[in-house]
Amino acid sequence: MSNAKTVLVTGSTSGIGEGIAKHFASLGHNVILNGFGDANAIETLRSSISEQYGVKVRYYGADAAKVSEIEQMIASIEAEFGSIDILVNNAGIQQVAPVEDFPVDKWDAILAINLSASFHTIRCALPKMKEKKWGRIINIASAHALVASPYKSAYVTAKHGIAGLTKTVALETATFGITMNAICPGYVWTPLVQKQIPETAKTRGITEEQVINDVMLHAQPTKKFVTIEEVAALAGFLASDIASSITGSMIPIDGGWTAQ
């Protein structure tokens, strides 16, 4: 289609990122997938999105923790498509542990993947967006960019850092037709959340069922998980022209969590 954009979604081989990539493909945009996983499963995902929506879908396995791999990925995408129009910084990992026992290598990895990677994708993709005088940068932050929970020191620190980055870059790009916002989901039922249930049960000395009902859904007055489709639709709206006055915003989609 003539107004097809080029969309990079980091961490889009699973969960929220995969849902966002599919949503942008459904809107007729070309999509670049990124993330880890089984090579055959990723190729099936890539080709099925491309066939279903009739758009170009590429895959780059760049590790968000490695600056040179991010730089190479963006350069390759720009060589093929000219520029990245919509950048979704979504790749992220989690670790649950008391701060005094927090594994140092996990702290470094979470800061690199959940925070610094967004700085690197932004600084690499921005010059072409500025040339085109149009761009959308959407950071998948978290309710944990706005409030804290115990035992998630690295994650909460990185996500609060994303809030600062979002506001700062929004100011720097405000007159270039570029917006930069952060979506702040509450608990969404994805592998990232499923994996932290046993860790949280161990750290707090409670059952896995108690983690779901008394920790996760306790935080969400709606008493239900946010859906991937809801987050993807919000990303689609932020990328639309009608959202051009929304910039520098931290937008909760959290079932009322941060209203408390």
Cβ proximity to ligand NAD, 133 vs 223, nearer residue: 223
User: Which one from 59, 151, 155, 187 is the annotated catalytic residue?
Assistant: 155
Cβ proximity to ligand NAD, 110 vs 178, nearer residue: 110
The pair of three-digit structure tokens given for residue 133, joined into one six-digit string: 């005088």
Instruction: Choose the stretch contacting ligand NAD; rule: CB under 6 A; options: 96-104, 130-138, 168-176, 185-193.
Output: 185-193
How many of the other CB atoms lie within 10 Å of CB of 199? Answer: 15
Sole binder of ligand NAD in the list 67, 192, 246, 251 (CB under 6 A): 192
User: Minimal CA–CA distance to 10: which of 160, 112, 99?
Assistant: 112
The pair of three-digit structure tokens given for residue 68, joined into one six-digit string: 């040179």
Tokens 């959407």, located at residue = 138
Beta bridge partners of 89: 139
**Pairwise CA distance, residues 163 & 159, whole Å:** 7
Instruction: Choose the stretch contacting ligand NAD; rule: CB under 6 A; options: 10-18, 20-28, 80-88, 120-128.
Output: 10-18
For residue 3, count CB atoms less than 10 angstroms from its CB and return exposed for 0-12, middle for 13-18, buried for 19 or more.
Answer: exposed
Instruction: Classify each residue of 86-120 as buried b or exposed e, where b means 16 or more C-beta atoms within 10 Å of its C-beta.
Output: bbbbbbbbbbbbeeeebeeebbebbbbbbbbbbbb
Residues 6+ apart with CB under 8 A from 200: 96, 151, 206, 211, 215
Establish if 142 lies at the interface with ligand NAD (CB under 6 A). Answer: yes
Sole binder of ligand NAD in the list 93, 156, 170, 235 (CB under 6 A): 93
Establish if 232 lies at the interface with ligand NAD (CB under 6 A). Answer: no
Is 155 a catalytic site residue? yes
User: Minimal CA–CA distance to 230: which of 254, 258, 202?
Assistant: 254
Establish if 161 lies at the interface with ligand NAD (CB under 6 A). Answer: no
Establish if 252 lies at the interface with ligand NAD (CB under 6 A). Answer: no
Sole binder of ligand NAD in the list 91, 115, 129, 138 (CB under 6 A): 91
Cβ proximity to ligand NAD, 82 vs 103, nearer residue: 103
CB of 113 to ligand NAD, least distance (A): 5
**Pairwise CA distance, residues 33 & 12, whole Å:** 5
What residues between 71 and 90 interact with ligand NAD by CB under 6 A? 90
Sole binder of ligand NAD in the list 5, 7, 13, 122 (CB under 6 A): 13
Sole binder of ligand NAD in the list 7, 8, 9, 16 (CB under 6 A): 16
- Point out which residues bind ligand NAD (CB under 6 A): 10-17, 34-37, 63-65, 90-93, 113-114, 140, 142, 185, 187-188, 190-193
Catalytic positions, please? Answer: 155
